[in-house]
Amino acid sequence: MERTIKGVCDGENGEGVRNCHCVVALSGGADSTALLLILHYLRQRLGLSLSALHVDHGLRPESAAEARAAVTFCHALGIPLAVHTLTVDELAAVWRVGTEEAGRKARYDLLAAALPSPAADWICTGHHLGDLAEDVLMRLVRGCGWPALGGMRLCDPARRILRPLLLTEKDRLEAFLATLGVSWTEDPSNASDTYLRNRMRHGVIPLLTAENPGFLDQVRDLWQLAHIDADFWETRTAATLSAAPASPSHVEGEASAPHDAAHGAESIRLPKTTLTGLHQAERLRLFKEVLRRMGEGQARAETLLALDAAWVAGRGGTRFMFAGCKTATVRRGDIIFSGGPPAEDTP
């Protein structure tokens, strides 16, 4: 874990935690407790300032006692702690999502709000190698391209999230705490198979680990390869897009196609000249990057492939629908991505 923390400190993705503030998401489990302690021990060397945030989800009778334990622990370390109490069931109803998703979203909202300077400081979470393995499997199940299949990022500068323990086994964190005589709480909901993540942890991962006791090492290698490829494709698509301006602008020269006006300022055009000569692998990454720049919502591989097939065949007219109300249409060899809901064609 030292190497990972050092990697982050030395500037994972060109950034680091040195001389900034870290807000640690402290559940009281082994992972976040170990993370807070490690950062506490490193704070002087790294010039860090630290605070913690504990969220009482109000879903279990023990949660109030766990919040008090977090207060005691942070008080002993001299780390400021904020405790927030949520009623996750209500949020889930309001947001129309499951309780797992509502808790996650509310937690990250609170963490982001707790950053003293949101553009420079970091939210630190205790995600470890076991979490990464679950994430890879969940991505495999729901359908995920490459390099996204390699799992969550160690450092997400846009969301200001750091996961310094992402490549560390949970066993090592527990051993570290045991050596120090520090106790932690086991969230009983971790044992429940209500949540997809837990079903991966209890059902699938033990089967895969039985086949290869080094399965988690393979996940770590896969993550590293994905991390390298992500950088390759990000660099490449950024260079292609900056060389050939697929700039977010009005669709020009389309006066004869009045139904295009609705695309307005939210359209991005990938001109034929940019697309021609690119390998299919590059075109697909370019589509993904354009869609990513247009907002949230994961593009389905199937739709990306269908859009590409239409472009190759020079087949205009079909409007391809992507998550987040984004669309794409082939027109005269260009591809026009549009951000809003699809415009109604005038009769």
- State yes or no: residue 302 binds a second copy (CB under 8 A): yes
Residue 226 assigned ligand-binding role: no
**Residue closest to 326 by CA, chosen among 292, 282, 275:** 292
Residue 31 assigned ligand-binding role: yes
Among 85, 190, 235, 318, binds a second copy (CB under 8 A): 235
- State yes or no: residue 13 binds a second copy (CB under 8 A): no
CA distance 303 to 337: 13
Question: In 10 A of CB 185, how many CB atoms?
Answer: 16
Instruction: Kindly compute the dihedral angle of the four CA atoms of residues 88, 322, 275, 267, in this order, to the nearest 10 degrees.
Output: -90
- State yes or no: residue 3 binds a second copy (CB under 8 A): no
Residue 117 assigned ligand-binding role: no
Q: How many residues bind a second copy (CB under 8 A)?
A: 43
Residue 32 assigned ligand-binding role: yes
Residue 101-140 contact track with a second copy, rule CB under 8 A, x = bound? -----------------------------------xxx-x
Q: Please, which residue, 174 or 282, has the CB nearer to a second copy?
A: 282
Closest approach, Cβ 150 to a second copy, in A, equals 8
Answer for the pair 338, 267: CB distance below 8 angstroms, yes or no.
yes
Q: Please, which residue, 235 or 242, has the CB nearer to a second copy?
A: 235
Q: Which helix (DSSP H) or strand (DSSP E) does residue 320 occupy?
A: strand 319-322
Q: Please, which residue, 143 or 258, has the CB nearer to a second copy?
A: 143
CA distance 230 to 222: 12
Q: Please, which residue, 113 or 281, has the CB nearer to a second copy?
A: 281
What's at 188, amino acid-wise?
A: P
Q: Please, which residue, 260 or 308, has the CB nearer to a second copy?
A: 308
**Which window, 81-89, 118-126, 179-187, 276-284, contacts a second copy (CB under 8 A)?**
276-284
Answer for the pair 101, 92: CB distance below 8 angstroms, yes or no.
yes
Residue 29 assigned ligand-binding role: yes
CA distance 329 to 250: 15
- State yes or no: residue 149 binds a second copy (CB under 8 A): yes
Q: Which helix (DSSP H) or strand (DSSP E) does residue 197 occupy?
A: helix 196-199
Residue 201-220 contact track with a second copy, rule CB under 8 A, x = bound? --xx--xx--xx-xx-xx--
What's at 346, amino acid-wise?
A: T
Among 113, 141, 180, 265, binds a second copy (CB under 8 A): 141
Using left for φ > 0, alpha for ψ between -120 and 50, and beta otherwise, residue 346 falls in beta
CA distance 303 to 307: 6
Residue 125 dihedral angles phi and psi, to the nearest 5°: -115, 160
Q: Please, which residue, 178 or 238, has the CB nearer to a second copy?
A: 238
Closest approach, Cβ 105 to a second copy, in A, equals 21
Answer for the pair 85, 66: CB distance below 8 angstroms, yes or no.
no
Residue 158 assigned ligand-binding role: no
- Exposure of 179 by Cβ count < 10 A (0-12 exposed, 13-18 middle, 19+ buried)? exposed
Closest approach, Cβ 193 to a second copy, in A, equals 11
Residues comprising the binding site for ATP?
Answer: 27-32
The footprint of a second copy (CB under 8 A) covers 136-138, 140-147, 149, 196, 199, 203-204, 207-208, 211-212, 214-215, 217-218, 221-222, 224-226, 228-229, 231-232, 235, 279-282, 284, 300-302, 305
